[in-house]
C-alpha cells in the first residue's frame, strides 16, 4: 500500500515507517530521495496514502498520519541517502564500537569511501579514502557545520 502511494519514477524511497501503540495510532512515514524531498512531495504522498488507508480500512478508521523527511540531525539509514552527501563530513559509529569522522568521498555498491580525519599530536591529518562497508556502519550522521 505504501509503495503504491510513492511516485512511480523511484525518485523517493521510504527510510522508516513507525506505528505508535496508542488508542489512536500515529503512522509516521519518513521519506527521502537522492535529491532530498520537499514539502510538496510529502503532502502528495500523504494524500495518496490517506486515500489508500481509507479504501482499505474505511473512512471511520481512527489514526494520525505524518509523512515527513529526515531532519538534518537524523542518522542516514539507507545506502541511497549517502549519495547526496558526497563531499560532506560524516561521523560514523561502527559495529565494532569504534568511531570515525571524515569526508565522504564516494558511494559504492558495497559501502562508502571515507577520507578519515585523525588527530596526530596536536594536528589533524586526513588519511587517504578507504572503503567502509555498509554492513560495518551502525550509525552515520552528517556533521553539521555553521562556519
* 78 closest CA partner among 4, 1, 17, 144: 17
Q: In whole angstroms, what is the distance from residue 83 CA to residue 86 CA?
A: 6
Q: Does 137 or 147 have the greater pLDDT score?
A: 137
The helix (H) or strand (E) run that includes residue 45 is: helix 39-57
Q: What structural domains does the chain harbor?
A: 3-68 (3.30.300), 75-142 (2.30.30.100)
Q: Tell me, what's the pLDDT at 122? A: 85
Q: Tell me, what's the pLDDT at 6? A: 58
Q: Tell me, what's the pLDDT at 81? A: 92
Question: Looking at the predicted structure, is the pLDDT value of residue 86 above 90?
Answer: yes
Q: Tell me, what's the pLDDT at 7? A: 58
Task: Detail the DSSP E strand segments found in the chain.
Answer: 12-19, 26-33, 64-68, 89-94, 99-107, 111-120, 123-126, 130-133, 137-142
Burial class of residue 59 in the structure, from the number of CB atoms within 10 Å of its CB (0-12 exposed, 13-18 middle, 19+ buried)? exposed
* Model confidence pLDDT, tens digit, residues 14-67: 999 999 988 889 999 999 988 889 999 999 999 999 999 899 888 788 899 999
**116-135 mean pLDDT:** 92
Contact yes or no for 115/126 (Cβ under 8 A): yes
- Mean per-residue pLDDT of the chain: 89
Q: What backbone torsions phi and psi does residue 95 show, to the nearest 5 degrees? A: -60, -30
The residue with cell 509523512 is 67
* Model confidence pLDDT, tens digit, residues 100-111: 999 999 999 999
Q: Tell me, what's the pLDDT at 3? A: 56
Amino acid at each position: 500500500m505504501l509503495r503504491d502511494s510513492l511516485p512511480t519514477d523511484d525518485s523517493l524511497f521510504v527510510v522508516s515507517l513507525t506505528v505508535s501503540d496508542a488508542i489512536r495510532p500515529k503512522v509516521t512515514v519518513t521519506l527521502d530521495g537522492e535529491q532530498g524531498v520537499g514539502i510538496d512531495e510529502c503532502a502528495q504522498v500523504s494524500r495518496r496514502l490517506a486515500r489508500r488507508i481509507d479504501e482499505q480500512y474505511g473512512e471511520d478508521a481512527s489514526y494520525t498520519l505524518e509523512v515527513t523527511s529526515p531532519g538534518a540531525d537524523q542518522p542516514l539509514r539507507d545506502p541511497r541517502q549517502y549519495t547526496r552527501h558526497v563531499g560532506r563530513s560524516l561521523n560514523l559509529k561502527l559495529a565494532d564500537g569504534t568511531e570515525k569522522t571524515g569526508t565522504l568521498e564516494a558511494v559504492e555498491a558495497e559501502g562508502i569511501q571515507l577520507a578519515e580525519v585523525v588527530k596526530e599530536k596536536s594536528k589533524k591529518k586526513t588519511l587517504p579514502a578507504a572503503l567502509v562497508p555498509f554492513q560495518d556502519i551502525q550509525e552515520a550522521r552528517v556533521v553539521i557545520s555553521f562556519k
